[in-house]
Amino acid sequence: MTDTHPAIRVSEIFGPTIQGEGVLMGLPTVFIRTGGCDYRCSWCDSLHAVDNRFRHEWETMPIDAVWQSVVALSGGRPVMVSLSGGNPAIQPFGALIERGHDDGYRFALETQGSVARDWFADLDVLVLSPKPPSSEMRTDWAAFETCIESAQEKPQIVLKLVVFDEGDYAFAKGAAARFPRLLVYLQPGNHTPPRPGNEDAPVDLDGINKRMEWLVEKVTRDRWFEARVLPQLHVMLWGNKRGV
Ligand code: SF4
């Protein structure tokens, strides 16, 4: 049978492993990491899926092939599928989500909230991660709100904010105040992100842990009791290693 759906530009498909961040932390997950992003964050930890210099590593795959990979990795047992990137919102995921749901799989997508898609309403979890000032990106809040509207209150929507410094913390508080109904997850930034081809370079775990401590102190001192502060579990376990 011919697959008539648009193809998906894939950087890597891997798992199952645990989700290392945010609301689904610890949950066994298969990851579909897409290639390409409309942002260029200064501290991006997934440059191999962002920078066009690595385009030769990406593969434009029919939905059938993507889905076969997920099923093979999960042994046919329904599992959470994380759509990440890059920015997965610029890929046509609607048909894949429909197909996966038919087989009992669930889908989470993480995006910066710059591009809204009508299939956001078909997700199970939508993680919106607006990028703080240290990223050197600017959030288009109108586009961001369109992402929330596109979800039509169907998936669980959470905010995830990376914090490096005071400016990022103020941004996170502002973002949370804009969307008081959404759960908020804060995570200390990794100032030693992987560089493509050099994923074995060590992470500064002590530095990240100090930032985590600082963040916990900030949140508790401010009595910001709605925020949840979490580390990146995969960084603690495997550093900058890819595909885990
Ligand atoms: S939005 Fe995400 S994937 Fe894109 S450049 Fe920023 S950190 Fe990297």
Domain ranges of the chain: 8-238
Instruction: Give the Å distance between the CA of 75 and the centre of ligand 1.
Output: 30
Cα dist from 115 to 9, 74, 128, 244, whole Å: 16, 29, 11, 27
* Closest Cα to atom 6 of ligand 1: 41
pLDDT score of 19 more than 60 = yes
Average pLDDT for 34-53: 96
Average pLDDT for 99-114: 98
> Could you tell me what percent of the chain has a pLDDT over 70?
99
Answer yes or no: is the C-beta of 239 below 6 A from any ligand 1 atom. Answer: no
* Closest Cα to atom 7 of ligand 1: 44
Is 148 annotated in a binding site? The answer is no
- What's the pLDDT at 2? 56
Residue of 12, 44, 82, 90 with the most ligand 1 atoms within 8 Å of its CB, for mutation: 44
Average pLDDT for 73-99: 98
Q: Are residues 175 and 159 in contact, defined by beta-carbon separation less than 8 angstroms?
A: yes
pLDDT by residue (tens digit) across 123-163?
Answer: 999 999 999 999 999 999 999 999 999 999 999 999 999 99
Is 86 annotated in a binding site? The answer is yes
Can you tell me the distance from the alpha carbon of 78 to that of 92, in angstroms, rounded to the nearest whole number?
A: 21
Cα dist from 55 to 7, 58, 131, whole Å: 15, 5, 23
pLDDT by residue (tens digit) across 171-218?
Answer: 999 999 999 999 999 999 999 998 877 777 889 999 999 999 999 999
Average pLDDT for 212-237: 96
Residue of 40, 87, 160 with the most ligand 1 atoms within 8 Å of its CB, for mutation: 87
- What's the pLDDT at 5? 83
Ligand 1 atom closest to 86 (CA): 3
Ligand 1 atom closest to 135 (CA): 6
Kind of pairing, strands 8-18 and 183-188? unpaired
Instruction: Give the Å distance between the CA of 114 and the centre of ligand 1.
Output: 11
Instruction: Give the Å distance between the CA of 222 and the centre of ligand 1.
Output: 29
Task: Cite the beta strand spans of the chain per DSSP E.
Answer: 8-18, 28-34, 59-61, 80-84, 106-111, 125-128, 156-163, 183-188, 227-229
Fold of 8-238: TIM Barrel (3.20.20)
pLDDT score of 31 more than 70 = yes
Least confident of 71-80, 90-99, 185-194, 195-204: 195-204
> Could you tell me what percent of the chain has a pLDDT over 90?
89
- What's the pLDDT at 243? 79
Average pLDDT for 61-87: 98
